[in-house]
Amino acid sequence: MALSALRALARVAARITVHAPAWGADLYRDLGAEVVPRGTMDRADVAVLFPPSFRAAWEARRVPRRVGIAADHRAWLLTDVVAPGTHRLDTYAALAAAVGAAVDGPPAFAVRPEDPEVDVPRGHVGLNPVSPSGAPVTWTGFAALSVRLDRPIVWYGGPGEEADVAEVAPPGASRRVGLSLPAFARALTRCAVFVSNDSGAAHFARACGVPVVVVHGSTTAARTGPAGALAVEGPELPCRPCYRKRCRFGLECLEIPVQRVLDAVGAAVEAG
């Protein structure tokens, strides 16, 4: 979700350094930025803190100017406190605007000719049944959905999710798990629609221009849904959305009929 804001920052900064996990070098490859591992920041004039965590603010404490939202008891570590928006994309745009950078579009990731080829059928439905955010974000209807689809299916998962994907996908199903981001992007060029929980994979697929259907249980599209994705929301409950890692009430937010998701897949394919 930060791609658009980072692109805006790269346009106005003489030099930009992105502190990111191991996949950051691939994700941010078009920014002209230096991508380094997360850690203490001590060689910058301004730190724009996209994560709302105390950790991020503490690591930037030696930077003269520190811009972020007042979350996780860290306001005292910030020099510039920015009001959050309704959607996280709005929050990121506000962070960029605080240092004079204007966001001008949704996140986008460009496939390069040299990106690895992936053997997947053209026009397939991509299914992403796993979420690192835990049970409240993990819809359990993917296997039932797969038997009702009339297109080739490819099951996707991130690094280390092989066993989790294999547990959901039927025996012998086509699985592509642990792809690099460039390889994943190339595979997505052959995808008719990508069906996912609310996860980074859904945002990445949408940034690659693929029609995306997102199943929202404990989360909501209004706050964290990918821009332009088709959302299938869980039932209205007093506790939803909660964004918790564990549910205290029986995961009623994920009681979403397969037919609703199937209808959304058809609508997404038709809309193209």
The total number of structural domains in the chain stands at: 2
For residue 72, which amino acid is it? Answer: D
pLDDT given for residue 127 in this prediction:
98
If asked whether residues 142 and 192 sit together in one domain, one would say yes
If asked whether residues 89 and 135 sit together in one domain, one would say no
- What is the C-alpha radius of gyration for the chain, rounded to an integer number of angstroms? 19
Lowest model confidence (mean pLDDT) among 12-26, 33-47, 249-263: 33-47
On the question of pLDDT at 255 being above 90, the answer is yes
Distance in angstroms (rounded) separating the CA atoms of residues 200 and 132: 9
Segments of the chain assigned E as strands: 17-20, 34-37, 46-48, 65-68, 80-81, 124-128, 153-157, 175-177, 191-197, 212-216, 230-233
**Domain final residue, candidates 78, 97, 116:** 97
Which range of residues forms the domain containing residue 54? 3-97
pLDDT given for residue 42 in this prediction:
74
> Which residues, in sequence order, are CB contacts of 14 under 8 Å at separation 6+?
none
* Helices then strands, each counted (H, E), the chain: 10, 11
If asked whether residues 89 and 128 sit together in one domain, one would say no
Is residue 105 a part of any domain in this protein?
A: no
Is residue 82 a part of any domain in this protein?
A: yes
If asked whether residues 130 and 247 sit together in one domain, one would say yes
Which tens digit of pLDDT belongs to each residue from 45-78? 999 999 999 999 999 999 999 999 999 999 999 9
Is residue 109 a part of any domain in this protein?
A: no
pLDDT given for residue 271 in this prediction:
83
Which tens digit of pLDDT belongs to each residue from 88-101? 999 999 999 999 99
pLDDT given for residue 256 in this prediction:
96
Is residue 114 a part of any domain in this protein?
A: no
**Domain final residue, candidates 81, 97, 113:** 97
Angle subtended by helix axes 88-97 and 3-12, to nearest 10? 10
If asked whether residues 53 and 167 sit together in one domain, one would say no
If asked whether residues 147 and 61 sit together in one domain, one would say no
Task: List the one residue out of 159, 164, 186, 204 whose CA is nearest residue 22.
Answer: 159
If asked whether residues 92 and 207 sit together in one domain, one would say no
Is residue 135 a part of any domain in this protein?
A: yes
Is residue 47 a part of any domain in this protein?
A: yes
Which tens digit of pLDDT belongs to each residue from 156-214? 999 999 999 999 999 999 999 999 999 999 999 999 999 999 999 999 999 999 999 99
Indicate which CATH number applies to the domain containing 165. Answer: 3.40.50.2000
Count the neighbouring beta carbons within 10 Å of the beta carbon of residue 56.
21
Is residue 117 a part of any domain in this protein?
A: no
> Which residues, in sequence order, are CB contacts of 127 under 8 Å at separation 6+?
142, 145, 146, 153, 154, 155, 156, 169, 195, 196
Which tens digit of pLDDT belongs to each residue from 132-148? 888 999 999 999 999 99
> Which residues, in sequence order, are CB contacts of 101 under 8 Å at separation 6+?
5, 8, 9, 11, 12, 13
Contact in structure between 135 and 242 (CB atoms under 8 Å): no
On the question of pLDDT at 6 being above 90, the answer is yes
If asked whether residues 24 and 155 sit together in one domain, one would say no
If asked whether residues 31 and 163 sit together in one domain, one would say no
If asked whether residues 91 and 142 sit together in one domain, one would say no
If asked whether residues 136 and 68 sit together in one domain, one would say no
